Structure 1
Amino acid sequence: GAVPPPRAVGERLGRDIGAPGYWSGIAATAGAAITGYLIGIAIAVALGILVLMLPPLEGFASKLAVVAACVPAAAISPIVVLLTPSGSRAVSVVLAVLAVELPLVVGVLVGLRAATPAQLDLVHAYGGGTWTAIRRVRVISAIPAFLSALRIGAPAAFLGAMTGEFFAVGVDTGAGRLLISQQYSGDYPGMWAVAILATAVSALGYGLIAIAARWVAPWTTHLGGLR
């Protein structure tokens, strides 16, 4: 019974797709995911700029991103729950940040170093300093890799936020909470329906980032950054 027939799952999804509880839960999880996603972007960009200013810190930034990806959710989540008030979604936000940090940091570091020596020499030849090279050359060269990292990070953030709801205390809404309640009641078609819906939302986030990237930086398509 834990793996119901696809027809039963499809019927359940079709019957409940318009239920307010489904979408309020998805919206709550998406809100935490977006918050963690934006925090992860800010951290990755800050680390990238810091590495450009202090190159010896590149190894530290890379290791920090790997550590963030390797921290077990079961280890960090209880600590976050203890440090935050009941009903807080902080654990979902933290797990979303940890889920996106590795691809974002790698994307930023690889992108900021994509500028060729000839491009940097040209900036310096015209009197430009380090910040001018970052703004005029390195940021533009980093766009393809950074946009690819953003696409990867979007579904990862939703998954991290959803995982955090398994540990949250005092939180009654969210895709993760829906799965838990249906697990306790033995509603297996409902569990699979929520899982499919969550997967569709994650794929939608991936697609929206790709569309936005094509609109913001259409030239990157020819460089292979959005393929």
Structure 2
Amino acid sequence: MNKIGIKVGVDIKFLLKELLNLEFIENNIEKNCKLIILDIDILNLKSEVEHYCSYDLKVIILLDNFDRKELVELLSLNCSFQCILKHELNKLKDVVTKYFFRAKSYKSFYLNDIYFKGIIEFSEILYIDYYRTTRRVRFNLINNESFFIKRNFSDLDFLILEYQNFYRLGRGIIINMDLVKILDYKEEKIIFKDKTILYISKIKLKELERTRVLEKNRIVLKSL
């Protein structure tokens, strides 16, 4: 059975159990789940959202309305989350169902561009960047391959929402964290597993480090 983390009130918890045929996890959520539902009324909501985003979980926040000041504060975070109104919980069922369906079913996509058509494996994508002057998206693949398509960068938000290994770094770069090998602070660059190099600022490197994705399921050796 699929697992989902929850931090909600008793009443909402009861409704979720009626709505979703899932295993609900309330402890060690970041170790057992890829998706969590948070009630906007829980204590320390902002720190909770930051915490679970740092573990690259998909975060869904349940709201009473869209005018809450807490929501405005959350929008200032560099975190990806989705909001659903409590009186529209049926929408939550659709979101959760699509999440688990996509996470299980899709490992590639068919690109149907005017000049470029083909099947791209998600595991082949190192990073994606955006050229604002030409309004084109560049897919940078393993083995030094790349191609451009003319799309809005926001069209790729599904990668961040549905696939936990993709991380938006700033406004114009999406990184496949599964293929990152080294964060080089001295020369300010990312080295991918195929030896591809992406030069980037120390601030952005630190942001990637804070996601803790590189530490997942690995022994961590720290220098003295």
- Structure with greater helix share of residues: 1
Q: Normalising by the residue count of structure 2, what TM-score does the alignment of the two structures yield?
A: 0.26
- Structure with greater strand share of residues: 2
Q: Which has the higher contact order (CA 8 A, sep 6+)?
A: 1
Q: Normalising by the residue count of structure 1, what TM-score does the alignment of the two structures yield?
A: 0.26
Structure with larger Rg: 1
